[in-house]
Amino acid sequence: PVTTSGGGTGCVRAPDYPKRVELCYYAFPAYNLLYSEWSPLCTDSGLSNIAATFRFALRSGKCCEVEEKPTPTPTPAPPECEPSLVELSDQEIFEILVTREQSIGSCMVYDQRGLSGVCDFYFGADGGRYPLTTDGRGTGCVRAPDFPKAQDRCYYSSPAFALTAEEWMPLCTGSGVANLAGHFRLALRDGKCCTPPPTAPPTAPPTAPPTAPPTA
């Protein structure tokens, strides 16, 4: 420690060491220390006094600069298999399956950007790839002409996949994000992500306005 005017040598009282320094400087008023602060620096053990000097300096912020670290933002948990899944936007689906690398039920995405795959993304569902041909073949390649590998082939319009135009067209747009979302919605509808597949909550039928009682 130093005095209130900034003086001091940092001498450690060590009567049990060769130089046998017994004077305890830190009890002097010039240091302006409380008894609870200076007494641990003035025991008969040099080792204890060194340790106490360190603890005092550490507590006073003289050893380490306290760096304020930003509070990490917790990663949201993947959504449960519930009706709200059918309302997710294309970007929300991409965020969960690709950016956060999470699965939704048994549906997931294999991100091959910068890796050896022919496609940037492959869609997986129910322990395999999806969709598959009628004889169980297929890689789940996502058409993504706007991503680095520029994969623009649409496999899913082939009769081998037995998909209607309404089913394969959402997988074959010019947007990789939209196509990936199309894979997810198709797999979700077919019960490949969640069992049973979630459905949108039914909407209440419109209530007919009351009719006026007949007049005489």
The CA dihedral of 11, 16, 21, 26, to the nearest 10 degrees, is: 50
- Are the beta carbons of 97 and 103 closer than 8 angstroms? yes
Q: What is the pLDDT of residues 134-171, one digit of tens each?
A: 999 989 999 999 999 999 999 999 999 999 999 999 99
Mean pLDDT value across the chain: 85
- pLDDT attached to residue 74: 72
What's the token pair of residue 37? 């602060």
Q: What is the pLDDT of residues 85-96, one digit of tens each?
A: 888 999 999 999
- Are the beta carbons of 143 and 172 closer than 8 angstroms? yes
Q: Tell me the C-alpha distance between 174 and 209, whole Å.
A: 46
- pLDDT attached to residue 199: 62
What's the token pair of residue 201? 């909550």
Cα–Cα separations (whole angstroms), residue 112 to 11, 116, 147: 62, 7, 11
Q: Tell me the C-alpha distance between 30 and 32, whole Å.
A: 6
pLDDT > 50? residue 206: no
Query: What's the distance, Cα to Cα, between the start and end of the chain in Å?
Result: 104
3-state secondary structure of 207: coil
- pLDDT attached to residue 201: 46
Q: What is the pLDDT of residues 98-125, one digit of tens each?
A: 998 889 989 999 999 989 889 999 999 9
* Complete edge-to-edge strand list for the sheet that includes strand 121-125: 108-111, 121-125, 128-129
Share of the chain above pLDDT 90, in %: 53
Kindly indicate the confidence band of residue 205, based on its pLDDT and cuts at 50, 70 and 90. very low
Kindly indicate the confidence band of residue 207, based on its pLDDT and cuts at 50, 70 and 90. very low
- pLDDT attached to residue 183: 97
pLDDT > 50? residue 133: yes
Q: What is the pLDDT of residues 18-67, one digit of tens each?
A: 988 888 888 887 888 888 888 899 999 999 999 999 998 888 888 876 55
